[in-house]
């Protein structure tokens, strides 16, 4: 299996242990216990990290730190994206300075997305949903790669001199002009919060799925080569990616694979009824052998998003395994939970407008 990670392609990880060994990602087990107020730590969804110790120290000892994340605006905001939004909000509650990038240039270069359309998607899909999920305007810097401050562009240019073409090839594989420009923009996105104009050197954490690790490795290497900036290599957390409704990847380009957070609650929640389950071929078999929650997308949705209470989740798992719970009833319950969540979320989206405007103004 080719385990080169491709931030612009499709990455499905079969063996996380092997991946961590290969790319030098450390286990997040000790932080899963320490920060169990975040469901993604508590349930082991955040499985790995780089230098998260610096961030843990900052949180526990009330030192300054920042969180940076980016989105490539190319389609609807779905349940798979919600994970990053929840992480942003969690870091904001832990007093991080929040930096959120709308990677519209990357979207233009790699997905052929017109800049004005990318801008609309970034605001109406991503930022509006972030606010509806709980993002506050305090300490938030939000920018478009196509429209930001000169110090950021200067940093992207200076970073270009600190890496060779062959190093880029080693990290990303076959290169195109679009990939090179996107990679260097990512370096600017990740490192610029440490420029004096943006708060100066301090620990910065970037929560990502494993597919984004190449950008982290490049940014960390360049941060230690840049002279005179005193940058601290950025930290990262790595989360497992949620499966699509039919298995495989949850992708904005496949409406059958995702639950949209901006769509009609009834239509979206109905999709659960035809999702891939870990159920058996017949009712009799399921009653006798039980289902397989580990292979079930419905269970995964509850595990990641819909069942906050650990006891309730454990009950669902054991009832499934014992054959007491059957897929029809289980899917119906999950679909109802989702519809309720989406209906409330829609109301919050309508109320989000003023805060979204405020965030856009304070760039």
Nearer Cβ to ligand SF4, position 214 or 278?
Answer: 278
Assess 113 for contact with ligand SF4 (CB under 6 A). Answer: no
| Between 118 and 296, CB nearer to ligand SF4 | 296
Which residue lies nearer to ligand SF4 by CB, 98 or 298?
A: 298
Q: x-or-dash pattern for ligand SF4, window 323-342, by CB under 6 A?
A: --xxx--xx-----------
Q: Which single residue is written with the structure tokens 């309730």?
A: 312
Examine residue 54 and tell whether it contacts ligand SF4 (CB under 6 A). Answer: no
Q: Which of 195, 219, 224 shows the shortest CA–CA distance to 205? A: 219
Distance CA 363, CA 356 (A): 12
User: Toward ligand SF4, which CB reaches closer, 75 or 278?
Assistant: 278
> Would you give the binding string for ligand SF4 spanning residues 170-209, x where CB under 6 A is met?
----------------------------------------
Query: What's the CA gap between 211 and 13, in Å, rounded?
Result: 9
- Per the structure block, which two tokens stand in for 208? 């990502």
- Residue closer to ligand SF4 (CB basis): 38 or 330: 330
Residues 275-294, one symbol each (x = binds ligand SF4 by CB under 6 A, - = not), give --xxx-----------x-x-
Cα angle 307-312-313, degrees, rounded to a multiple of 5: 60
Q: Rounded to an integer, what distance in angstroms lies between the CA atom of residue 94 and that of residue 75?
A: 30
Q: How far is Cα 352 from Cα 241, in angstroms, rounded to an integer?
A: 27
Which residues, numbered 17-46, are part of the site for ligand SF4 (CB under 6 A)?
none
Q: Which residues pair with 140 in a beta bridge?
A: 98
Whole-angstrom distance, CA of residue 200 vs CA of residue 232: 10
Taking Cα atoms as reference points, which of 40, 123, 41, 110 lies closest to residue 82? 40
Q: Give the residue with the Cβ less far from ligand SF4, 160 or 292.
A: 292
Query: Is position 70 an interface residue for ligand SF4 (rule: CB under 6 A)?
Result: no
* Distance of closest approach, residue 299 Cβ to ligand SF4, in angstroms: 4
Residue 298 in the binding site for ligand SF4 (CB under 6 A): yes
Spatial separation of the C-alpha atoms in residues 160 and 143, rounded to whole Å = 21
Beta strands 26-27 and 46-50, pairing class: antiparallel
As measured in angstroms, the least distance from the Cβ of 295 to ligand SF4 is: 8
**Residues found near ligand SF4 in the complex (CB under 6 A):** 277-279, 291, 293, 296, 298-299, 320, 325-327, 330-331
């Amino acid at each position: 299996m080719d385990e080169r990670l491709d931030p612009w392609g499709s990455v499905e990880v079969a063996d996380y242990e092997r991946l961590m060994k290969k790319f030098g990602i450390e286990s997040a087990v000790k932080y899963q216990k320490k920060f169990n107020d975040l469901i993604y730590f508590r349930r082991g969804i955040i499985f790995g990290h780089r230098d998260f110790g610096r961030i843990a120290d900052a949180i526990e000892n009330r030192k300054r730190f920042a969180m940076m994340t980016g989105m490539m605006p190319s389609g609807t905001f779905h349940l798979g994206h919600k994970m990053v939004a929840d992480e942003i909000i969690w870091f904001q509650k832990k007093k991080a300075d929040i930096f959120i990038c709308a990677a519209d240039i990357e979207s233009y270069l790699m997905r052929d997305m017109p800049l004005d359309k990318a801008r609309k998607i970034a605001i109406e899909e991503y930022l509006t949903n972030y606010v509806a999920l709980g993002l506050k305007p305090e300490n938030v810097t939000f920018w478009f790669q196509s429209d930001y401050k000169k110090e950021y562009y200067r940093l992207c240019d200076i970073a270009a001199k600190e890496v060779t073409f062959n190093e880029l090839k080693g990290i990303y594989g076959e290169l195109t002009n679009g990939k090179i420009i996107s990679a260097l923009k990512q370096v600017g996105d990740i490192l610029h919060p440490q420029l004096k104009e943006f708060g100066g050197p301090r620990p910065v954490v970037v929560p990502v799925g494993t597919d984004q690790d190449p950008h982290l490795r490049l940014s960390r290497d360049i941060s230690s080569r840049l002279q005179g900036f005193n940058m601290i290599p950025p930290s990262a957390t790595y989360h497992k990616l949620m499966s699509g409704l039919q298995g495989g990847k949850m992708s904005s380009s496949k409406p059958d694979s995702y639950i949209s957070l901006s769509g009609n609650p009834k239509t979206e929640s109905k999709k659960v009824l035809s999702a891939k389950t870990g159920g058996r071929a017949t009712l009799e078999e399921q009653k006798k052998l039980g289902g397989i929650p580990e292979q079930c997308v419905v269970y995964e949705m509850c595990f990641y998003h819909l069942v906050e209470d650990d006891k309730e989740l454990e009950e669902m798992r054991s009832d499934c395994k014992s054959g007491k719970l059957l897929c029809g009833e289980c899917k119906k319950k999950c679909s109802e939970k989702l519809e309720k969540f989406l209906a409330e979320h829609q109301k919050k989206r309508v109320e989000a407008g003023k805060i979204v405007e405020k965030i856009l103004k304070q760039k």
